[in-house]
Copies of this chain bind each other. A is one copy, B any other.
């Protein structure tokens, strides 16, 4: 998840001043409602050293009724704590119904800092993750809202902040030896964080990454995340109570009204701050026709050879293609496979599920199509339909698509553990380019079949899709099954990039397996 984070985001002072008052008022309101409804809330702050956890907690609690929350600073275990099971100190710090607990550091210390400094043994890591997930699930099942925030900065920024602290006698003590070591071995620490995200990003206690290079941006984002989570929980609780109070209650109650208004507001605010993975794609990248022809020939030749090698070495490959309508999926797949032995690969076009497929779990039809060792399975549209079209068109419930991120990660992990190369391509074009291509298709009698009314309808939901895609890319790009966003305005460029990426991944795998 960390790989796709855009750390360049900032917020101007003016924008901040304009946005915050409303967010602050709403948060206060929602806290009162949680109290009233007896909802316990847990907010976890984790992140790199000097990413600003303390400052952000300070900003957050400004809007809260101080009688309703408590902040716990989680450092090394005290002697008393060492003499108990690791979760003991966190169980004893869980909030009462209606109250909020804010954790500056948390139970994740065990699999981050303590793992880094080797006081957590590698052989215990699996068990610790199991304990952590069981802990969070039990509390979530009991009605807790669990909000987990990971404050993200890069190595240079961390170094800069450390240096600034060290320059001043008053603040130098705040940079520990461990902090310095983790800056030195930043990549090692970051990969532990990445594993933590993958193992513990669940539907009952999801992670949100906070881009923390810019203080104001981070504050605003934290507010929207907390507001959204609280508002959604309140709505659920109120609805469940209304359900219990039976059919006598007609229409929205007052609480529900406040909660749903807050949820809407937070969603809008969150939109403004959204993960702009797609937005930062550089669509001006091109490849000249001459260069394209030259490269294409070379790469296709290489691909042909590697395909044979994969077969010989019995390595399976899964390639998923998603993207905007007319984004160039078909063209890329065609160029990729053109020179490959057709006995060694299958292209699976994914249409709406048929009746038999509908009668199974949504992943069933994809599991069936997974390649055997030495074969390549290419999917033209994939299981990610669950978190895109099915989400947006309401073909599945909110709970279902929210759960799907982890389900999909689990499936891809099973594939990767078996030795499969898994790559996922998002073919990115902008809205203008799409229109140009649609028009072209409509004018060209040979291509008219490619364009339907539905394509035009989907186009109207561009922004909704963009949000869903951004969330998808963030939550499901893993080291074992990464997403590759392909700059697609120039078809030549896109096709070459796909070929190069596939070849690169295969070569790496072959080297590793030697």
A binding-site residues for B, Cβ under 8 Å: 38, 40, 80, 82-88, 91-92, 94, 96-98, 126-127, 130-131, 134, 138-139, 141-142, 144, 243, 246-247, 314, 316, 356, 359-364, 367-368, 370, 372-374, 400, 403, 407, 410, 414-415, 417-418, 420
Chain B residues closer than 8 Å to A372, beta-carbon distance: 80, 83-84
Question: Which residue in B86, B410, B418 is a CB contact (below 8 Å) of A138?
Answer: B410
CB neighbours (8 Å) of A417 from chain B are 85, 127, 131
Task: Name the B residues within 8 Å of A359 (CB-CB).
Answer: 38, 40, 96-98
Cα distance, A94 to B356, chains bound together (Å): 12
Q: Among the listed B92, B368, B418, B420, which residue makes an inter-chain contact with A91, where contact means beta carbons less than 8 Å apart?
A: B368
* A40: chain B residues within 8 A (beta carbon): 359-360
B85 touches A420 (CB 8 A): yes
A-B contact pairs, 16 of them (CB 8 A): A83-B314, A83-B373, A84-B316, A84-B370, A85-B370, A85-B418, A86-B418, A88-B370, A91-B364, A96-B359, A131-B410, A131-B414, A138-B363, A141-B400, A144-B361, A243-B243
Q: How far is the CB of A471 from chain B (nearest CB, A)?
A: 20
Given contacts A91-B363, A96-B356, A414 and B374 within 8 Å (CB-CB)? no
* A361 proximity list for chain B (CB < 8 A): 94, 138-139, 142, 144
- Tell me the smallest distance from the CB of A4 to a CB of chain B, in Å: 23
A196 to B23, CA, bound (A): 49
CB of A418 within 8 A of CB of B141, answer: no
The complex places the Cα of A179 from the Cα of B126 at a distance, in Å, of: 32
- A370-B84, A372-B80 given as contacts; is B91 within 8 A of A410 (CB)? no
User: For residue A247, which residues in chain B have a CB less than 8 angstroms away from its CB?
Assistant: 246-247
In the complex, what distance in Å separates the CA atom of A363 from the CA atom of B88? Answer: 11
Whole-angstrom distance between the Cβ of A94 and the nearest chain B Cβ? 6
Question: For the complex, what is the distance from the CA of A108 to the CA of B121, rounded to whole Å?
Answer: 28
Contacts of A131 in B (CB 8 A): 410, 414, 417
